[in-house]
Structure 1
């Protein structure tokens, strides 16, 4: 490897990872609000509503980080994919998938060069890993990473 090769730094994926994490949180808010309306009993609807509030706070934090980093935050989509079945087991599986998606996004964000983004990514990954376990999933050794 030449000195010229060493002087070229890899591109910073922080802004793209931040956008991905924000998109995952938009989808989680939408999904939990849907589950809160479609869930079978009051306890299920209450838990989904509380989780939606958590994801709204995370979404708002990522939005603020985007603005502070000079990244134009993408708005939420008008709609997101939803499960075909509305029973609690299908909704649980759907919500687990949303949590796994947020874990993957936060894992990517935790590798950002910017300290604030990296810290937000690491904290978000820790919290997502807890939600995955609470949702019945297995976070694995490195939550957010698919096994090879």
Structure 2
């Protein structure tokens, strides 16, 4: 395998992981938008579903630009059993932490455009997690930080 094709393979791999996280985020926020116990959370959920759909489209395009095949969307993703405010907030913070971890892998890509995208997505996911009541980790996106 040439160095160029190894780099493209790495890019496709990290893009696939980021896309999987975005698929789950869209599913999660659409659930929140339709099921949260209060209007504010439902409105925020629907708005953020739209943001994650835009990110999903951006990552899908980046995947196709690198001759990759976007991963399949799963028919369902884990959802919280309760729809009360704290359960929804905790659920969404977990979703954003997953997106942050996937974005972190993009920041380590050889491809400069992917690193830039990953940095922006890591920042966005961290801010969203904080807005839903998450705590700021010293190293967002890292497990156990």
Return the TM-score normalized by structure 2. 0.89
Return the TM-score normalized by structure 1. 0.88
Q: Which consecutive unaligned segments of at least 5 residues does structure 1 have?
A: 1-7
Deviation per CA, 1:65-90, whole angstroms, max 9, x where unpaired?
00001110013211101111121211
Cα distance in structure 2, aligned partners of 1:139 and 1:146: 13
Conserved 8 A contact 2:92-2:129:
no
* 2:110 corresponds to: 113
Q: 1:51 offset after TM fit, Å?
A: 0.7
Match of 1:90 among 87, 90, 96: 87
* 2:142 corresponds to: 145
Q: Report whether the alignment pairs 1:127 with 2:130.
A: no
Conserved 8 A contact 1:14-1:111:
no
Cα distance in structure 2, aligned partners of 1:22 and 1:143: 19
Deviation per CA, 1:15-40, whole angstroms, max 9, x where unpaired?
21111110000000000000111111
Q: Report whether the alignment pairs 1:74 with 2:71.
A: yes
Q: Which consecutive unaligned segments of at least 5 residues does structure 2 have?
A: none
What is the RMSD computed on CA atoms of the aligned residues? 1.5
- Which of the pair is proportionally richer in helix? 2
* 1:4 corresponds to: none
Q: 1:41 offset after TM fit, Å?
A: 2.1
Cα distance in structure 2, aligned partners of 1:30 and 1:115: 29
Conserved 8 A contact 2:106-2:115:
yes
